[in-house]
Amino acid sequence: MPEQQGSRISSLVKAFDLQGNHRTGSRVDQDSGDWLCEQIVAMGARPEKIPFSLPLVQIDECWVGLADIKIDAVPLFDCNFPLASSISGRIGELGSDADIGVIMAPPQAESAQSRKLYQSRQSYQHTAILVITDSQFPETGIALHNADNYARPFGPPVVQIANRYWLEIKQLMKTRGLVSIRLKAKRKPGQAFNIQTLVNGSNPALEPVIIMTPRSSWWCSTSERAGGLICFLEMIRKAVTCKGERSLVFLANTGHELDHAGLAAFLGERPGIEKSAHLWVHLGANFAAAAPIGARLQFSDAVVQEGFIKLLKAFKSPVYNIKPEIDRAVGEARNIHDAGGRYLSILAGNDLFHHPSDRWPVALNIENLEQWVAIFENLVPLLTHRDAFRT
């Protein structure tokens, strides 16, 4: 990789990291969007802000009282908030007869613990639920769960805390000790914006390729989001200099952690575009993370898979595995999968997923990121071709 490009990538990652908590609709989310627009302009293209409305969660107070200890907490953004701000009761394992159910769970929605949490919320087994960040994470800081039912809140109040006091909580669970929860929060009308950039091809009759990446998240989420954003920008730079027949639409969505709210807004204004677009390229989460190393590639069909793997073989490609076609895609690619569209997608695991410790430089593997940048920028000329990944 040219030294100038490597320096640019590192500078962009550092700048993103320093912005702060990239939660949808926040001041940081707005400022980060403005910053991203400036970078797109620097790449030689014209960004457009596309605003959309959504409810935003305002948290006035959220903590857990454990004997004489007051523990900072964050609610699930798709639970029901209590009418009375204070809840108290005896705690026990999730699924028991305790007033407040307790579970230790990682933030990945596909984990067994997260599925158990979802089922308990559906059945209203408890007056409230306490979610402890999994012990694999640092003892301070909360690894937050996404709000996959953000538009349809359900179940009892659920609050999340770090695992620092897990031993004390386990002891209280054995004796059905008393715990108090203070949660004062509400939903209010709000607005956020996606960023769209069009690089026109020479043949407007051809359906476009859409390259999308999320730009919002919990906390700083440096390694979670940096891979997608950096590849996104470098692909724009490449597209500007190598225009082909097919137009490329670059879409950076906010609302990722809120059930892909930004992508849903984009799709809602363009019925059927999931299938009418020639192809979707999803630059998903975590593939720049330091650990674990290994991206997960998702493809809608064998033709797309064969075409992308052929490109990979031309490079010293990073470690990856391929998700079976019969499995439902995860990340924003699932919206395209469910609608029957064609896509290629990259994402990965992350040992600091949704945790405040996902920061530059320790959480990110810059060499791995540079390898993926080289691959995706060289994908661009293929995408602009009339017969790109055609069945």
Predicted pLDDT of residue 325:
77
Q: What is the mean pLDDT of residues 235-252?
A: 95
Q: Where are the alpha helices (DSSP H) in 43-126?
A: 112-123
| CA dist., res. 351 & res. 138, Å (int) | 10
Predicted pLDDT of residue 271:
96
Predicted pLDDT of residue 316:
80
Q: Is the pLDDT of residue 317 over 80?
A: no
Q: What is the mean pLDDT of residues 298-309?
A: 96
- Decide: residue 299, CB within 10 A, 0-12 exposed, 13-18 middle, 19+ buried: buried
Angle between helices 366-383 and 302-312 (to 10 degrees): 120
Residues 152 and 265 in one domain: no
Q: Is residue 389 part of a domain?
A: no
For every residue of 306-361, DSSP letters joined together read HHHHHHHTTS-PPPEEE--TTSPP-TTHHHHHHTT--EEEEEE--TTTTSTT--TT
Residues 109 and 147 in one domain: yes
329 φ/ψ sector (left φ>0, alpha ψ -120 to 50, else beta)? beta
Assign 366 to helix, strand or coil: helix
Residues 213 and 285 in one domain: yes
CATH of the domain at 162: 3.50.30.30
Residues 133 and 249 in one domain: no
Averaged pLDDT score across all residues of the chain:
96
Predicted pLDDT of residue 327:
85
Q: What is the mean pLDDT of residues 137-152?
A: 97
Assign 157 to helix, strand or coil: coil
Residues in CB range of 11: below 8 A, 6 or more apart: none
Q: Is residue 37 part of a domain?
A: yes
Residues 288 and 365 in one domain: yes
Residues 155 and 267 in one domain: no
Find the helix or strand (DSSP H, E) in which 304 lies.
helix 302-312
Q: Is the pLDDT of residue 37 over 90?
A: yes
66 φ/ψ sector (left φ>0, alpha ψ -120 to 50, else beta)? beta
Assign 150 to helix, strand or coil: coil
Cβ-based neighbour number of residue 171 at 10 Å? 10
* 259: amino acid identity, one letter: D
When pLDDT is cut at 50, 70 and 90, the band that residue 311 belongs to is very high
Q: Is residue 390 part of a domain?
A: no
Taking a C-beta distance cutoff of 8 angstroms, is the pair 300, 337 a contact? yes
Q: Is the pLDDT of residue 1 over 90?
A: no
| Cα 123 off chain centre by | 27
Q: Is residue 388 part of a domain?
A: no
Tokens at residue 39, please?
A: 């970078």
Residues 85 and 209 in one domain: no
| Residue where a domain terminates, one of 165, 188, 211 | 188
When pLDDT is cut at 50, 70 and 90, the band that residue 3 belongs to is confident
Residues 31 and 129 in one domain: no
Q: Is the pLDDT of residue 54 over 80?
A: yes
Predicted pLDDT of residue 165:
95
Q: What is the mean pLDDT of residues 4-28?
A: 96
Q: Is the pLDDT of residue 104 over 90?
A: yes
CATH of the domain at 221: 3.40.630.10
Residues 276 and 354 in one domain: yes
| CA dist., res. 239 & res. 383, Å (int) | 9
Q: What is the mean pLDDT of residues 273-296?
A: 97
Q: What is the mean pLDDT of residues 330-346?
A: 97
| CA dist., res. 73 & res. 51, Å (int) | 30
Q: Is residue 162 part of a domain?
A: yes
Q: Is residue 160 part of a domain?
A: yes
Residues 175 and 322 in one domain: no
* Residue owning tokens 């926040």: 26
Nearest to 179 by CA among 96, 75, 87: 87
Taking a C-beta distance cutoff of 8 angstroms, is the pair 249, 195 a contact? no
Q: Is residue 52 part of a domain?
A: no
* 142: amino acid identity, one letter: I
When pLDDT is cut at 50, 70 and 90, the band that residue 268 belongs to is very high
Phi, psi (deg, nearest 5) at residue 379: -75, -30
| Residue where a domain terminates, one of 150, 165, 188 | 188
Residues 333 and 224 in one domain: yes
Residue of 326 and 190 predicted with greater confidence: 190
When pLDDT is cut at 50, 70 and 90, the band that residue 12 belongs to is very high
When pLDDT is cut at 50, 70 and 90, the band that residue 68 belongs to is confident
For every residue of 170-233, DSSP letters joined together read HHHHHHT-EEEEEEEEEEEEEEEEEEEEEE--S-TTSPPEEEEEE---SS--HHHHHHHHHHHH
| Residue where a domain terminates, one of 137, 167, 188 | 188
Residues 15 and 67 in one domain: no
Please measure the distance between the N-terminal and C-terminal CA atoms of the chain and give it in whole angstroms: 33
Q: Is the pLDDT of residue 299 over 90?
A: yes
Range of the domain at 171: 57-188
Taking a C-beta distance cutoff of 8 angstroms, is the pair 46, 54 a contact? no
Q: Is residue 50 part of a domain?
A: no
CA distances from 294 to 74, 138, 318, 371 (A): 30, 22, 7, 12
- Report the share of the chain in percent with pLDDT over 70: 100
Number of domains comprising the chain? 2
When pLDDT is cut at 50, 70 and 90, the band that residue 337 belongs to is very high
Residues in CB range of 165: below 8 A, 6 or more apart: 66, 69, 71
